[in-house]
Amino acid sequence: MSYSFDLGFHQSIRDFNFGILIKDILPYTYWTTGEIDVGKTSIILGSNTSIDPINISFDLDPFSLEYFIGLEYDYNSLFSVHLSNSTFEKVYLGFFVNLDQLNIGYSFVIPHHNQLGTSQTIILGLKNLN
């Protein structure tokens, strides 16, 4: 079992969004063997643009030069499907459900290294609560 938290801020100019994300705050992984791994916190610079109904995103960790490229297809305002690849060792295929104040997502994760096996990610996000 593992958990971590992310904190991000973004700004929009026309159809172009950019932001900064502090990723994996307090990242811990608990193994069934009783071992505990502490991950690293990173700062991610990101951008996103939309060519309706496609969203394209690019994120970069300027310290490690790891990147994330994603494509998202908005089926409608409530549901979207995404595909992404990254140097963060994973390929994601999943979907998002966008509710009023909450985003719910699911991703099937395929690692670049076969010995790690596949995994799944569940995403819960709170929208701006102003």
pLDDT one digit per residue (tens) for the chain, 130 residues: 666 677 777 788 877 788 888 888 888 887 788 888 887 888 889 998 888 888 888 889 898 888 888 888 888 878 888 888 777 667 778 888 888 888 898 988 887 766 667 888 888 887 766 5
Number of domains in the chain: 1
Spatial contact of 27 and 42, defined as CB atoms under 8 Å apart: no
Could you give the C-alpha distances from 84 to 54, 103, 108, in angstroms and in order?
Answer: 13, 18, 11
Domain that holds residue 72: 2-126
- pLDDT in the model for residue 1: 62
Tokens of 14: 């026309």
At residue 38, the pLDDT reads 80
